[in-house]
Structure 1
Amino acid sequence: MREWFGRRVRSGYERLLRREIEGVPTHIAVIQDGNRRYARQNGDSATEGHEHGAETTEQVLEWCQDLGIEELTLYTFSTENFDRPEDQLEALFDLIEGKLREFADAERVHDNGVCIRALGDIDRLPERVRDAVDYAEGQTEEYDQFVLNIALAYGGRAELLSAAQSVLGGVEDGAISPDEIDIETVENRLYERPVRDVDLIIRTGGDERTSNFLPWYANGNEAAVFFCTPYWPEFRKVDFLRAIRTYEHRQESWRTARARRALALLRATGSAELDEAKSVLRRFRDALPSGERERLDAEEFDADDRAAD
């Protein structure tokens, strides 16, 4: 009875959250933390914890597609994970290999036009995993309705360090002039990149850190971040919708801040920045609280009267 009641409450809360959500992020990145702690909590092996986590991954993929999200990146195996005991690594590699091949052959993947891509230092992975990566990418490379990125052997600092070393090597060889180094120069030397910058990072398991995950594409885009306590196998649709709501609130705050900065600039300058401030204010005016919008309207009315005089 209690379990039935809990499901009814969650279902009602899901419907409430869904009604509150007006827009969704384009690209979500997920740090799937807590598989092993979940296993210990339930008296299971680490491998069983990861298997339960893989079931959650499939659900999240469905939720993304239902909401119209266009890209999902999963932090599946980090460079730090190579330090785990050999037996755990082999079990993880077996699971990753199996899931990649399963996804590549799944009807729902092909029916929904899911393009599977791997991000990271793939050459460090065992041959059987690299073969599974090639198979999954080859089976889905023509699709463009939804992008599923699997971050494997991924480390953000290692990625940026490798890119910096490559740029430095190009300068030393004379292939790159220091004056020509720009964002594109760096991006061309990163791992295989996501299709879109990250709008929202979700981390389960209770830790409040982003763990070296996609720093160029998330931090550079000022992505919203949602931390929650459930372990990854326990992550529910309610948690997912709460994360989306966090993103919406973050966007609203960003729009309001931009509008206020533009309004302050508009009031303080009559220089070349004036046109830019007016343009920004027109774009984000609706993000201001109603009282500020009314004062702005009054100021514009007074300005028109002065111009007429």
Structure 2
Amino acid sequence: MNKFKIVKVGARMVMERFFHTKKPEHTKNEQLLDIEKIPAHIAIIMDGNGRWAQKKGLPRVAGHREGMKVIHKIVEKANDLQVKYLTLYAFSTENWKRPKSEVDFLMRLPEQFLHKELPKLKKNNVQVRIMGDQSLLPAHTLKAVNKAVTETKNNNGLILNFALNYGGRREISEALKNIVKKVEEGSLHSSDINEQVIESHLLSKGLPDPDLLIRTSGEKRLSNFMLWQLAYSEFWFTDVLWPDFKAEDFVEAILIYQQRQRRYGGV
């Protein structure tokens, strides 16, 4: 190698180190993924924040704060893998039963998360949506969420759907009320009611049903989450608490999903 080439190669190495132009290495599981079979819609029940904090002798809110940091990593990985829809169970209709101090803290998290992450979400072409009863949300929470929804509405990349003050039974109940109202008004005949009509009145209208449900913390139940939509979804449960959940765990869930055969009730 002549002197000119040595200088050229050395300069390139310095530039790579300075500007971090090297691409991060993929994990072994990620290398095994079939990019053609990435689930289009992934839903996650982010569970275990309180237990994570308790194990460390910290207040529960510390677990929620740490859990918020994980959302950024998972959204980034989902976007990287070209997942089309990611629904996160952020706050349920039952969570209002928790101590007021904890609820107040939880209602501040969307504001804090979006204040920090919105510029990145916009840059990465992510569209933010919200699914739930907005009428009970504090003004500051609603303002932050609506700002994110408005400023990303024209993005056509990953749809990041937050289930906030959401409950599956309430969703179905409200859908049925609206359908009955249309029947009474004469704009819909009772004989026309079918699955498609019901789905068009759900809060998730416009989104496909989740292909994969992930729940952290070792619990194995739906907790009133997307009861209609998860009828034929694949479930993946892990003992990992949400604050400890990593991109590698997310990839593992997808890899296991790809190894299953979805029959939808068929042979």
Q: Which residue of the partner structure matches residue 258 of structure 2?
A: 248
- Looking at structure 2, the residues matched to 64 and 124 of structure 1 have their Cα atoms a distance apart, in angstroms, of 30
Contact (CA 8 Å) 2:46, 2:88: kept in 1 or not?
yes
Identify if the C-alpha distance between structure 1 residues 194 and 119 changes in structure 2 by more than 3 Å, giving closer, same or farther. Answer: farther
Q: Confirm whether residue 85 of structure 1 aligns to residue 84 of structure 2.
A: no
- Looking at structure 1, the residues matched to 112 and 206 of structure 2 have their Cα atoms a distance apart, in angstroms, of 23
Alignment of 1:1-309 (within 5 A): 15-22=27-34, 23-104=37-118, 106=119, 108-193=120-205, 195-219=207-231, 222-250=232-260, 253-254=261-262, 261=267
Contact (CA 8 Å) 1:116, 1:149: kept in 2 or not?
yes
- Looking at structure 1, the residues matched to 46 and 217 of structure 2 have their Cα atoms a distance apart, in angstroms, of 8
Superposition deviation, residue 169 in structure 1? 2.4
Q: Per-residue displacement from partner, 1:189-216 (whole Å, max 9, x unpaired)?
A: 2225353321100000110112221122
- Looking at structure 2, the residues matched to 62 and 97 of structure 1 have their Cα atoms a distance apart, in angstroms, of 19
Q: Structure 1: which 5+ residue stretches go unaligned?
A: 1-10, 262-309
Which stretches of structure 1, 4 residues or more, deviate above 6 A after TM superposition? Answer: none
- Looking at structure 2, the residues matched to 243 and 31 of structure 1 have their Cα atoms a distance apart, in angstroms, of 13
- One-letter amino acid matched to 1:36: G
Q: 236-245 or 34-43, which moves further after superposition?
A: 236-245
- Looking at structure 2, the residues matched to 179 and 245 of structure 1 have their Cα atoms a distance apart, in angstroms, of 43
Superposition deviation, residue 99 in structure 1? 1.3
- One-letter amino acid matched to 1:212: N
Q: TM-score, normalised by structure 1?
A: 0.73
- Looking at structure 1, the residues matched to 114 and 155 of structure 2 have their Cα atoms a distance apart, in angstroms, of 16
Larger radius of gyration: 1
- Looking at structure 1, the residues matched to 204 and 249 of structure 2 have their Cα atoms a distance apart, in angstroms, of 29
Report 1 or 2 for greater relative contact order, CA contacts < 8 Å, sequence distance ≥ 6. 2
Q: 17-26 or 74-83, which moves further after superposition?
A: 17-26
Superposition deviation, residue 245 in structure 1? 1.6
Identify if the C-alpha distance between structure 1 residues 15 and 102 changes in structure 2 by more than 3 Å, giving closer, same or farther. Answer: closer
- Looking at structure 2, the residues matched to 209 and 249 of structure 1 have their Cα atoms a distance apart, in angstroms, of 22
Matched residue SS, 1:165: helix
Greater percentage in helix: 1
- One-letter amino acid matched to 2:82: G
- One-letter amino acid matched to 1:254: R
Identity %: 34
- Looking at structure 1, the residues matched to 264 and 213 of structure 2 have their Cα atoms a distance apart, in angstroms, of 21
Matched residue SS, 1:175: coil
Matched residue SS, 1:39: helix
- Looking at structure 1, the residues matched to 83 and 90 of structure 2 have their Cα atoms a distance apart, in angstroms, of 19
Q: Which residue of the partner structure matches residue 273 of structure 1?
A: none
Q: Which residue of the partner structure matches residue 291 of structure 1?
A: none
Identify if the C-alpha distance between structure 1 residues 225 and 256 changes in structure 2 by more than 3 Å, giving closer, same or farther. Answer: closer
Superposition deviation, residue 246 in structure 1? 2.0
